[in-house]
Amino acid sequence: MYVVAITNRKLDDLWETRWHISSSEGVGLWRDETGMVYADDIVLLLFEPGVEGRNFALKHAKRHGQRYVLKVDGRARSFEFLEVPRR
């Protein structure tokens, strides 16, 4: 599973917009290196293990101006952040 943010919204702006929560959409909270807290709309992308899912997630993130994608392995109960290529 890959978690991709589709907004870059500060926590203070969360209540000014509409957001969706479903089995594949939600809100992700994170803090950047300056201490700013964000509340981004996120989507979950489910794929069988392999390169196609990874590539799709990275392209999806790039289209939404994101720098990272969260990759979650449910079987191994592990996660890692993948950097989105800039070119």
Which residues make Cβ contacts (< 8 Å) with residue 39, sequence separation at least 6?
Answer: 9, 10, 11, 13, 14, 27, 28, 29
Task: Locate the domains of the chain by residue range.
Answer: 2-83
Beta strand 2-5 with 25-31 is unpaired
Structure confidence at residue 81 (pLDDT): 93
Structure confidence at residue 80 (pLDDT): 94
Structure confidence at residue 86 (pLDDT): 84
Percent pLDDT > 70 in the chain is 99
Structure confidence at residue 60 (pLDDT): 93
Confidence of residue 12 (pLDDT cuts 50, 70, 90): confident
> Residue range 56-68: average pLDDT?
93
Asked if the model's pLDDT at residue 8 lies above 90, the reply is: no
Chain-centroid distance, C-alpha 44: 8
> Residue range 39-63: average pLDDT?
90
